[in-house]
Each structure stands twice: as C-alpha cells, then as structure tokens.
Amino acid sequence: MNQQPIDGAALLNEVEQFHRRFNVFPREAAYVAVTLWDAHAHLVDCFETTPRIAFLSPEPGSGKSRALEIIELLTPRAVSTVSASANALYRLVGSADGLPTVLFDEVDTIFGPKANADEALRGFLNAGYRRIGGALRCVGEGSQQNAQVFDSYCAVAMAGLGSLPDTVLTRSVIVRMRRRARNEKVEPYRQRIHMKQGHALRDRLAHWADQVRKPVSEAWPEMPDGVTDRPADVWEPLLAVADAAGGDWPERARAACLELINASQIDDKGSIGIRLLTDLRDHVLAGLDRLPTVAILDKLNSLDDAPWADMGGRPLDSRGLSKMLREYMTADNTPVVARNIRTTGGVLKGFYATDLEDAWQRYCPPPTPA
C-alpha cells in the first residue's frame, strides 16, 4: 500500500517541538541542528559522510544525557552505551539488521583528561564518519586467516564533560550544553509515556525518508558563504535534509550552520590559537593598526569569559603571547613576531595588525555583525 505523501517541513517542526518539551539547548540553532540530525540518521545511506553530534558541558547536570535519550526515541535502530569496544562496534555496524544509530554517553570517561585515550575507539569514530572508512582485521584461526574489512560507517551521537580529541571535534556538530536557569522549564520525561510518542515520530521520519531518499541521495546542497572543507562535509547531509523538507528549513538550516560553526571555532578549547586570533581582531586591535605587548596583555586579561587571565594558574604573559603568535604567518610567509613600536614614552615591543591580517582571514570565523 502506498504511503500518503508526508509534509517534511511540518514533520520536522513536530520533531523540533518534541525536543523542546524535554531539552533546553543553549542556542536556537541547536534545535535546528539536532532535528536535522535526527532525520539524517534515517537517510544515512544516502550520504558520503555522517556528522557526529556532540553534547558537551563543563559540569554535570547540563541535560546532555536527556538529549541522547530523546534522540534515541527518534532515530533508527538506536543503541545506547556508556562503554563499548571498537571491535564490538564494528560488528554491530556490520550486522544484517541495518545500520545502527550509536549513542555514546559519558564519552569523557574514554577521552577525558583522567582517562587513557582509547585509540581503537577514536579510530572507529573517525573512520565511520566517512562511508569509505573501516578497519582491516585478520579473521580465522592459526594459519587459516584472511584479511577482512569491517565497516564503521554509521550515525553517532555523543555526550560528555569537557571536550573531545580534535580529530573527533572536527567531524562533529558541537552543542555546548549548560545547566538550566531557574526560569528555564522542561516537561518531566517519563519513558513509559513518552517512548510511544517518540517512536511514532520516528516511524513517520522513516516513512518520509523513504519518500525523499532518491532526491536526497542525488542532492548537492549549496553551502553558506565561507563554509568549505571539513565543515562543509559535516553540514552537507543536514542541509540536504533541510532542502528536502522545504518550508523555512533550508533558510534556518544555513543560519544554524554558520552560527554553530562560528561558535565551535571560538569556544573550542582545543583551538586556543584561533580564540587568541579572534580576540585580538575583535576586542584588542579592533580599529587599531598596532599596540604594544603590555597593552595587548592588559586588554586580553581583562576580557570576560576568556581564558587569558588563567593560563595554567597564571595570566598570559609576553613570552606566552609571542610563542602562540609565532605559530602563524604574515602575508609575506614569515612568523608573526613582536616588532618595535614608537610611543611617546619611547620604543616598546608590540604587534601590528597588518602582520595578523593573513592569519585572521585564514583561521578566524567571520566577524559577528554589530
């Protein structure tokens, strides 16, 4: 029996509202991204890549696990775990039941600062992001062994404290969670009640996915200006889903894409150099062509919500600043270094905006409109 056509935009609206009942995300863009990610999991076989989605926070009690619980209701063949070996995951992906959606909670216990990094699991997460990824293993006993490739391509959602290895972060849509404020309310989640509602939405997503599978598999969605390389790979499946749904989802998806990419580049502790460059451009040298190092440090260390006043227990100093900036090149392909600046009080060492412009263009997110 043929299924009646499903209004994709209306369905995604319902999925988004279901998340809003139980999740408080820090940005409106996050609701858009998570909704599109849920739908993309039903179409993962149409894409060359499947972005990971990562809910991260500095403290417990920020709603990360609840986000995974709601995703579990809405995605196909969801498997939730807090501990798994890479070999078990490879076999799960290769089972005849179809591609799973792997939900990895407490991922900080694997990659966090107090954990011994699991390189095999990191390899699974990295390789499985792209369809051609996999692991080569010997299968058999004794001398009767043959090489076999185990696929790892599947949708993966993660939640944890702190951050993740850079190789995982760059393959992920990042949602920085925070504890709910007193005025932020959610509906109490009751699995016995809400599971059926979530599964009903999941089944409708599956039917809609079947209806749009062919056009989605042939789609090459237009990227927002400036989104290229790995970020484009990450967002291409989500934008393809938005385009297939129609309504206001294509516009909302591209706005969310830019917002979350920019936020991840600024907030990611693993990209401290990009944070430094961005703060220099937007808050320190804004409108100035040069500034002595002492004035730069004073401005950096006074920025709210910035790491510079506490770098390993001490404020950023001139040596640390110089060391970080030497990693970047000027337009003349020479390291960015402090140069003489003549002031009314004499000659001081400092930095010139012209020396940083090439690094700003290459590494920093676009400036936020005033």
Q: What pLDDT, on the 0 to 100 scale, is given for residue 1? A: 47
Q: Is 322 exposed, middle or buried (0-12, 13-18, 19+ CB in 10 A)?
A: middle
- Average pLDDT over all residues of the chain: 87
Residue 116 has a pLDDT of 55
Number of neighbouring beta carbons within 10 Å of residue 73: 21
Q: How far apart are CA 176 and CA 333, in angstroms?
A: 35
Question: Which residue has better confidence, 98 or 308?
Answer: 308
Q: pLDDT tens, 50-65? A: 999 999 987 788 899 9
pLDDT > 90? residue 136 = no
Determine the topology of domain 8-267 in CATH: Rossmann fold (3.40.50)
pLDDT band at 214 (very low <50, low <70, confident <90, very high): very high
- pLDDT bucket at 113, cuts 50 / 70 / 90: low
Q: Are 154 and 99 in contact (CB under 8 A)?
A: yes
For residue 364, report the phi and psi dihedrals to the nearest 5 degrees. -85, 150
Convert the pLDDT of each residue in 282-308 to its tens digit. Answer: 999 998 999 999 999 999 999 987 889
Residue 195: its pLDDT value, please? 96
DSSP line for 99-136? --EEEE--THHHHSTTS---HHHHHHHHHTTBTT-EEE
- Residue 256 per-residue DSSP state: H
What was the pLDDT predicted at 295? Answer: 96
How many other CB atoms are there within 10 angstroms of residue 196's CB atom?
A: 10
Top mean pLDDT of 67-76, 78-87, 122-131, 153-162 is at 67-76
Residue of 63, 22, 13 whose CA lies nearest to 185: 22
Residue 270 pLDDT: 40
Mean pLDDT computed over 247-259: 96
CA distance 103 to 122: 15
- Decide: pTM greater than 0.75: no
Q: Is residue 13 scored above 90 in pLDDT?
A: yes
